[in-house]
């Protein structure tokens, strides 16, 4: 697993045109109940190690790694920003508001990126804006 983490982090760090890597804060991922098989798989993966490898490799190349609050990123449409729990079903994302469809993880990763960009351009308290999910006039369902 360590070798895989090294190879993946090296490839990521060397991505051209990327100055900042925005990662979800996964500190509570092992405390969630997702079923015996999934919990065992998640429990054996070295998330922290992967993050550390990426951080030092990115830093060596003059890049940085930041963390973003993942709340609502899997439920929010990256196109219209509508948030609804039923928008995501396993690996499929289908917005009930605008009809946008894509892979659920791709949609969520775009939301993590966009939330970071929004939090770094608004407000003076970075931590406060990072922890507040962006909702454009839509209620959380």
> CA-to-CA distance for 86 and 98, rounded, in angstroms?
13
The size of the chain, in residues, is 141
- Name the residue with higher pLDDT: 121 or 107: 107
pLDDT tens sequence across 30-89: 556 667 777 666 666 677 888 999 999 999 999 999 989 889 999 999 999 999 999 999
Q: What is the pLDDT of residue 36?
A: 75
Q: Is pLDDT larger for residue 132 or for residue 3?
A: 3
pLDDT at 25 > cutoff 50? yes
Domain boundary assignment for the chain? 1-68, 69-141
Q: Phi first, then psi: what are they for 60, rounded to 5°?
A: -65, -25
3-state helix, strand, coil in the chain (%, to 5): 45, 15, 40
CA separation for the pair 82, 100 (Å, rounded): 11
pLDDT at 140 over 80: no
Confidence (pLDDT) at 105: 93
Using the predicted structure, report yes or no on whether residue 4 has a pLDDT greater than 80. Answer: yes
Distances (CA, A) of 53 to 7, 9, 30, 74: 9, 6, 20, 26
Exposure letters 66-77 (e unless 16+ CB within 10 A, then b): ebbbbbbbbbbb
Residues 16-33: what's their mean pLDDT?
A: 77
State if pTM tops 0.95: no
Q: Which pLDDT score, from 0 to 100, does residue 99 have? A: 97
pLDDT digits (tens, 9 = 90+) for 95-117: 999 999 999 999 999 999 999 99
Q: What digits encode the pLDDT tens for the residues 122-137?
A: 654 444 333 334 444 4
User: Rounded distance, CA 24 to CA 73, Å?
Assistant: 10
């Amino acid at each position: 697993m360590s070798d895989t983490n090294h190879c993946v982090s090296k490839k990521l760090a060397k991505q051209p045109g990327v100055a900042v890597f925005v990662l979800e804060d996964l500190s509570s991922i092992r405390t969630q109940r997702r079923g015996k098989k999934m919990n065992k798989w998640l429990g054996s993966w070295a998330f922290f190690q992967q993050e550390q490898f990426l951080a030092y490799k990115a830093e060596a190349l003059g890049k940085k790694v930041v963390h973003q609050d993942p709340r609502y990123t899997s439920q929010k449409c990256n196109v219209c920003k509508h948030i609804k729990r039923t928008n995501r079903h396993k690996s499929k994302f289908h917005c009930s508001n605008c009809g946008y469809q894509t892979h659920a993880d791709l949609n969520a990763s775009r939301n993590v990126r966009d939330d970071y960009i929004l939090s770094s351009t608004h407000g003076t308290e970075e931590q406060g804006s990072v922890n507040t999910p962006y909702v454009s006039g839509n209620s959380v369902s």
